[in-house]
Amino acid sequence: MLTTLKNIKKTSSFTARMAPDALFPTLQSVKEAPEELLRKDRYLKSGNFTWVYPEQRPEYKMLAVSPPAVHDIGLEAAEATSDYFKDIVMGKKYVEDPFPYAQAYAGWQFGEWAGQLGDGRALSLFETHNPVTGKRYELQLKGSGLTPYSRFADGKAVLRSSIREFLGSEYVNALGIPTTRALSLAELPGTTARRGRGKEPCAVICRFAESWVRVGTFDLLRNRGDRPGVKQLADYVVDDVFGGEDKLLNNDHTRDAIAKSAIPYKHNNRYVKLYREIVTRNAYMCALWQVFGYLNGVVNSDNTSVYGLTIDYGPYAFMDAFDPNYTPNHDDGLLRYSYKNVPTAVWWNMVRLGEDLAELLGVAEGTDLENLTKSEKNELLDTAEAVITSAGEEYKAVFLYTYKKFISKRYGLLEQRDSDFDELMTPTLNMLEDSALDYHRFFRLLGDLPFFTGENASKSEPADFAPDVEQFISPEKNINAIKTPSQTRTELSQFLADFKKRLAAENNTDDAARKVRSREINPKFVLRSWVMQEVVEDAHKGDYDKLERVLNMALHPFQETWDEDWDDEEARFCGHVPKYCDSIQQTCSS
């Protein structure tokens, strides 16, 4: 039965298994330390975390709570209004057992080594255990103050970026993409942060995940040359995060794809299985990013989850007009994290993880890693290299299996055919790119279009579909289109004629049934950047009505309507992208 936040079982497996900051090795030392010293920026030569509590703010104001998130961690719906709940998730108060902590990690950012990073404005509160499902989540505050890992920053999160993360986390979850979650969003009246040339209001978000361990957590230990630490972390992830070696490579998302690919591994110890689990989870997640046109914007190794979760919502966006070169990150001049390059970027991070784990990937049980001969080291590294190579093939196989499976559903197809990738999907994306057509509206409208009933039942030639193509074309010409409107109409007409033949070939002629299937995977509402900008602008004026309404749409993106009193705004948010609002970019400022 569901419970309250006060009564729910709380643990902290990371601090129970991993080593603390050597400067404050016990909770007693933390409680006795001057606050300024506890939060002082420093480089850790050892240890994986620092116990630290939220900074106190002058005021706290709860803005929004996600009802599905409340339910998923195992709380009663009414709990969202309790003072205890609000005090904890806003950072006004904290639980001392287990004690909050900030995690240390490092990372590769834009392909360059960035050194130690860590939770610079976030801290983990505790793990909750859902009393109904048994599912464990780790709750974390973001924007809760300085930690030893804040570096040159202030430990704050502005309202603008907090709204974006809150909405984005829950929308991505509603689409079915693995992600960290957002439980609540609170404003901090009287607390501001300087970003750019001005000051912005601040906020704190309470988010949760199965684990907050990142590839960067391993990067830090390898960079230190901490062999025991790498093994300790790997064992923790196997045993505590994934629930034991027997659970590896057996999750519902990737099991079938792994079995079908049958990639051979000459060496498959506990750590190879762990590596493969992380690789295939990230392949699955990345494939769904591509299917739904999601772009993270900063796929650095410190933003790559070992659990295969979409994590750290910074300059993210959903595709508007289809453009494989689009990156939502204004600072990504080399397009490293553009749509077309994201699968490679994620794999690049997986290679870095393989290097972090290299000695463990090739080791036999009981081997003393500290006293290896040169030939033994070379043999071990050769084995690790072979494992990483095989994992690369497995990553590709799981990615393609997942992408084809779900993109076929977006088309409304009943069957996957080997020829579809080259004869249907690739040409369609080329058409969308050349004509700068809206990626999401295309699939939604395609699913709604009848091919075998009404006036369209007798249509077969491209010219017959001329009246149907207009709905796919935005009234605002996109400057990125290289095809003229006339050429776009001709290509769309040809596509619709060919697509009708593809549907008929698999006996997929029940328009009503296809429409139902299509609407289950093609959202009516897309959380676009311009919509979030409007929410943020209103919030900066103290008006949170749009935040509440857009949250409801984000939680239920496949619905046809949400609030009959808001029909006009809903239609606008689900319609064509306004002029000058297509493919907006954000900076990393947050």
Task: List the catalytic residues.
Answer: 302
SS3 114: strand
What are the residues facing 310 on neighbouring strands?
A: 179
Could you give the CA distance from residue 490 to residue 366 in angstroms, rounded to a whole number?
67
DSSP E strand stretches across 462-512: none
Residue with tokens 């249907």: 424
| Kind plus residue range of the DSSP H or E element containing 409 | helix 374-411
Residue 105 makes CB contacts below 8 A (sequence gap 6+) with 116, 117, 118, 119, 214, 216, 217, 219, 220, 302
Could you give the CA distance from residue 246 to residue 315 in angstroms, rounded to a whole number?
37
* DSSP per residue, 519-573: HTTS-S----HHHHHHHHHHHHTT--HHHHHHHHHHHSTT-S-S-GGGHHHHHHH
Residue 153 C-beta-side C-alpha neighbours within 13 Å: 22
Q: Which amino acid is at 410?
A: R
Could you give the CA distance from residue 127 to residue 8 in angstroms, rounded to a whole number?
10
The three state secondary structure string of 430-471 is HHHHHHCCEHHHHHHHHHHCCCCCHHHHHCCCHHHHHHHHHH
Q: Which amino acid is at 131?
A: P
- Cα-only R_g, the chain: 25
Q: Which amino acid is at 228?
A: P
Could you give the CA distance from residue 590 to residue 584 in angstroms, rounded to a whole number?
16
Residue 527 C-beta-side C-alpha neighbours within 13 Å: 31
Could you give the CA distance from residue 265 to residue 339 in angstroms, rounded to a whole number?
31
The token pair that represents 312 in the structure block? 């750290």
Contact assessment for residue 75 and residue 208, using Cβ atoms and an 8 Å cutoff: no
CA distances from 542 to 86, 189, 460, 573 (A): 20, 11, 55, 21
Could you give the CA distance from residue 582 to residue 463 in angstroms, rounded to a whole number?
30
Q: In this structure, how many other beta carbons lie within 10 angstroms of the beta carbon of residue 239?
A: 15
Could you give the CA distance from residue 93 to residue 170 in angstroms, rounded to a whole number?
25
Could you give the CA distance from residue 99 to residue 126 in angstroms, rounded to a whole number?
7
